[in-house]
A and B are shown apart, each in its own frame.
Chain A
Amino acid sequence: MSGKLSSVLICGSGLAAEYVAAALDRSLPQDISITFLETPQNDGEDYLYGTVSTPTSYSFHNEIGLSEPDIMTKTHTVFSYGTQYKNWGDAGNWVLCFNLPFPVWDSVPFHHYLAKTNTQLEPLLPGAIAGQNGRFVHPPNDQNLPISRAEYGYQFNPTSLTNIIRKIHSSANRVVRVQGKVDGVNASQGKLNSISLANGKDLTADLFIDVTGMESELLSALGIKFTEDQNLYFAVSEKPYSDNSPPLRQVYANDNGWISDTPLRHSLIRMGVSSPENKDDALNHHFHEPSVHFELKTGKQRVAWVDNCVSLGLSAAVTDPISPTPYLLLQKDIERLLSLFPVTKDMSLEAREYNRLFDADYKYATIFSKALYKTTGFPDTPYWTEVSSGPIETELERKLVQFNSRGLFVSYDHEPYNEQDWMILHFGMGRIPARDNIFIDHLSNDQITQKLAQMKTSLDLIVKKLPPHDRYIARMLEYLEKKK
């Protein structure tokens, strides 16, 4: 019999490391010791988590003890309804926002009525309309108001977010922090024994958590191979910004990749992704010499948990930040670890189940990003040819075939993105089902169009009354200041 697990060592730094330290501290009983070996910062790698989160980040933060007021008052984070894609091949300009489930009329999902009448979804999406008008409110409780259907995440600087978690968390918790540089990872028989520090000390634990970033120092010591997907060049620059920051990130396609602008309070983060062969061209799209830039390979570890070592975040998978996928996967990694935190030193069962779920989350989150490229009309360059016409996974193909054919939503168990996310994506990308839903054939288009027009009118009316995003935040901060 193996005994109860009693010690954890977190090794790494940055957002994943701070998140997992906070999460374990909040969840685990006191008889499990948590040591956090803080290794030197990873030179801006955390920007690969992206600068936008999904609506699930609200409850995730609450669970790890990070409240929305903390985030808003202590960082320059703003609210986010989603991302606007511009110059996006034949899809043109469109918004990928977050929404509560769409209505079902007469047992037929809403989007079939749109398809039948050739109506666009975006004008009916409260997040898209409010976002493009630079307006924001928290979703009201009154379900009759169309804006109550909008969901929101955050636009953030991952470094600031990391710092605030560290600050809030390190002042009152039992995690033992050790600063040091990894000098060696000692493994035998497929298992980690200890980590040697540059100062000669050795640290050991029952469970090792690898949050060392793309280097995956611990997992690689166990001989785990990284399965590569794509080679990319990545760069980040930032400039001061004083305008009303819209609660939308904007992504623009260029000849050899894309750039995104994420407005925060007082600054604008520009992130660019391109093929490594065109990095000189990519640099021209930045405000100035990028503060962060490097080449990278997207992909995932063959397995994320091996014996007594589990890797999280960038140590486990590096994904394209075109969508909130990288951040969402980090969140999923932590939630998965919490729900499967080992009970004994024999953690083979937990590892097996964790890896199964990790594979599924990775697959279903990355196909969402890949679906963002599946259209025509992008520049005729190697980068765009590869991303728009490359081979696709069976699961994505099935989703595209069924939607394109008849507007049917194909789902799999526990996908990170829900039905409305996919519908907004499909409509935004200009996909039109070839066949109408036969169950609404008898309805006249005028009847449906009239109903949809009423929805649009009431949405437009309410959006006009919403406060500008920056003013809303300013008032919220004033209120929070007074409350102190």
Chain B
Amino acid sequence: MTAAGLAEKLKHSDIAITLIESEQIGTVGVGEATLPHIRYFNETLGIHEPTFMKATKATFKLGIEFCDWGKIGDRYIHPFGDFGQPINHISFHHFWVNARQSGDTTRLSDYSYPIIAAELGRFQYPDPDPSKIESTFGYAYQFDASLYAGFLRQHAEANGVTRIEGKATESQLDSETGFVKNLILENGEQISADLFVDCSGFRGVLIEQALKTGYEDWSEWLPCNRAIAVPTKSGPANLRPYTQATARTAGWQWRIPLQHRTGNGHVYWNEFISDDEALAQLMDNLDADPLADPKQLFFKTGKRKKLWHKNVVAIGLSGGFLEPLESTSIYLIQEGITELLQLFPDMYFPDSDIDEYNRRMDLHFDRVRDFLLLHYVATQREDSEMWRHFRSLTLPDSLQEKIDAWLHRGHIIKYEIGAFLPPSWVAVLVGQNLIPNNYDRRVDHLSEQEQFKTMEQIRKAVAFAAGNTAPQQDFINRIGANAALSPEASA
């Protein structure tokens, strides 16, 4: 992604980009689901959506379904979109809380077009008319990350990137500045550059092994530290336009439906479950036959103390990892690239640029961390040691204040910069049974009759629009994105 992103923007410059890649290492297959931001990245690269979807066997994604998180048996979808529409400038969920207190039993989900469409297995592009309920969402993709990497590599090479097959083993530093001067490959070849982008994964060949930047360990908040991934044959015929994340006793299991197969995995905390048990739990809960042997992954959640240090910028797993619960891995890569492009250095590497980059990236990481942690702590589960652990955890102030404000009055402490805006927080909080005790007092300025009438109109509009939306498979076929109908299918 970094090579493609930089190459696109620098294609008219005289800056040479070299990509050192090793076929031996491959792509870590945990980031197969994305956030809507990915569309902007693809658009910037001039990528044709159906071509990309064919090449990566992609499906559309309207959100994530979380199962068994609040209580065993619960399920809710965190959509890429709004719940209802504001009434008198007041967020819709306040009206829902009031109605619920008066005995109304409708779900908040019933007011969300992307949720109902997802539940029905439907998909269409957002309507450009902002007054329509069908406009109130965004979408992302579920794709094969290895195929996406290959697809982007072609793009990068077409834009002049020189690709070298090889594995970086060590590096040389400039004795005066401490900057990385050369990268030495396994075959002894030396590669020099002015700026190095470290995408070497958890190893952090440059950012850590060479520059000893240090790692902020966030295991205290996000203790899951292992994963097992296994692909299976495609599941039920109805291609689901959403990812699933099902809570388990010591972690959670993902299910990501692609066009040609389903990605599955179990993320867990090895303190409370052995690798063998974790594997067994995963295999027992697959809905189709495995297509390959399970692959084990080890990680420590957290981030580098500096994502940009001297002349090295760490992007992707070398910069940090926050587990794939909300599909933020690729999002954080994208933000890393975007911010690097904004602050692309000259030969002076001003401290102010490096400092600003790190400030921005720290904010992205911090905010994702709080949102992920919310899933674990907004729970009523006590059926295993892990869940009991989270129920007694002291939270970061930033998250505790958010939860308190929500429970007291349905208020979301919001920010502008970061992946998850208020509707995402509302989705998880309500989905995991944290219902506010009060609602915005301004709601009662409207009579209950007026409120219920407006709510009913929205609910009906959502149901009607979702009912008239095409099944995802039909839509994929219609736009020419079906991988099975293209030459790439046999690749």
Contact yes or no, A402 B356, CB < 8 A: yes
Report the Cα distance A255→B408, complex, angstroms.
54
Q: Is B352 interfacial (CB-CB < 8 Å)?
A: yes
Q: Are B444 and A349 in contact (CB under 8 A)?
A: no
CA distance A32 to B441 in the complex (A): 10
Looking at the assembled complex, report how far the CB atom of A275 sits from the nearest CB atom of chain B, in whole angstroms.
33
Query: Which residues of A have CB within 8 Å of B44?
Result: 107
Q: Which residues does A use to contact B, with CB under 8 Å?
A: 5, 26-29, 31-32, 63, 107, 338-344, 349-350, 352-353, 398, 401-402, 405-406, 408, 410-414, 435, 438-439, 441-442
B residues 307-358 in Cβ contact with A at 8 Å: 341-344, 346, 350, 352-353, 356
Distance of B90 from chain A, by nearest CB (Å): 8
Digitize B392-415: 1 where CB-to-A-CB distance is under 8 Å, 0 elsewhere: 000000000100110011010111
Give Cα A473–Cα B405 distance, bound, in whole angstroms: 46
How many residue pairs link A and B with beta carbons under 8 A? The number is 79
11 further contact pairs, Cβ within 8 A, besides A29-B445, A343-B440, A411-B416: A29-B444, A339-B440, A343-B441, A353-B405, A398-B356, A405-B350, A411-B417, A413-B416, A413-B417, A439-B10, A442-B13
| Contact call A27/B417, Cβ cutoff below 8 A | no
Are A344 and B346 in contact, with the CB atoms below 8 A?
no
| B438 part of interface (Cβ distance < 8 Å) | yes
| Contact A410 to B356, CB < 8 A, known contacts A27-B445, A353-B411 | yes
Report chain B residues within 8 Å CB of A340.
Answer: 411
Q: How far is the CB of A134 from chain B (nearest CB, A)?
A: 35
B9 in the interface (beta carbon within 8 A): yes
**Cβ–Cβ < 8 Å partners of B442 in chain A:** 27-29, 338, 341
Expressed in whole angstroms, the Cα–Cα distance for A401 and B355 within the complex equals 12
Chain A residues contacting B356 (CB-CB under 8 Å) are 398, 402, 408, 410
Say whether B48 faces chain A, with CB atoms less than 8 Å apart.
Answer: no
Q: Closest CB of chain A to B8's CB: distance in Å?
A: 9
B342 touches which of A28, A29, A408 (Cβ 8 Å): A408
List chain A residues, Cβ under 8 A from B440: 339, 341, 343
Contact of B409 among A26, A107, A338, A343 (CB under 8 A): A343
Q: If the complex has contacts A31-B444, A344-B438, are A441 and B411 also in contact, measured as CB distance less than 8 A?
A: no
A246 to B186, CA, bound (A): 72
Residue among B12, B44, B341, B415 with the most chain A CB within 10 A? Answer: B12
Give Cα A107 to B413, complex, Å.
31
Interface size class of B (residues with CB under 8 A): 20 to 34
Residues of A contacting B411 in the complex (Cβ-Cβ under 8 angstroms): 339-340, 353
**A352 to chain B: closest residue by CB:** B401
8 nearest CB pairs, A to B: A442-B12, A29-B444, A343-B438, A413-B416, A413-B415, A27-B442, A349-B408, A401-B352
With A28-B441, A344-B438: A107-B342 Cβ-Cβ less than 8 Å: no
Q: By the criterion CB–CB under 8 Å, are B9 and A439 in contact?
A: yes
CB-CB under 8 A from A349, the residues of chain B are 404-405, 408-409
Distance between Cα atoms of A405 and B401 in the complex (Å): 37
Q: A27 to B15: give the CA distance in the assembly, Å.
A: 58
Our pick among B13, B353, B408, B414 for the contact of A405 (Cβ within 8 Å) is B353
Name the residue among A26, A339, A411 with the largest chain B CB count within 10 angstroms. A339
A105 to chain B minimum Cβ distance, whole angstroms, is 13
Most buried by A among B346, B350, B353, B408: B408
Asked whether, in the complex, the Cβ of A438 is within 8 Å of the Cβ of B13, the reply is yes
For A32, give the chain B residue with the smallest CB separation.
B441
Minimum CB–CB distance for B462 against chain A, Å: 26
Q: Report the bound CA distance from A437 to B439 in whole Å.
A: 48
A to B CB contacts below 8 Å, 6 in the list: A32-B441, A341-B441, A344-B438, A402-B352, A411-B417, A414-B416
Contacts of A26 in B (CB 8 A): 445
Q: Which residue of A lies closest to B341 (CB)?
A: A439
Determine how close the nearest CB of chain B comes to the CB of A84; give it in whole angstroms: 30
Q: CB within 8 Å of A: which of B340-385? A: 341-344, 346, 350, 352-353, 356
Assembled-state Cα–Cα distance A340/B89 (Å): 13
How many angstroms between the C-alpha atoms of A131 and B97 in the bound complex? 48
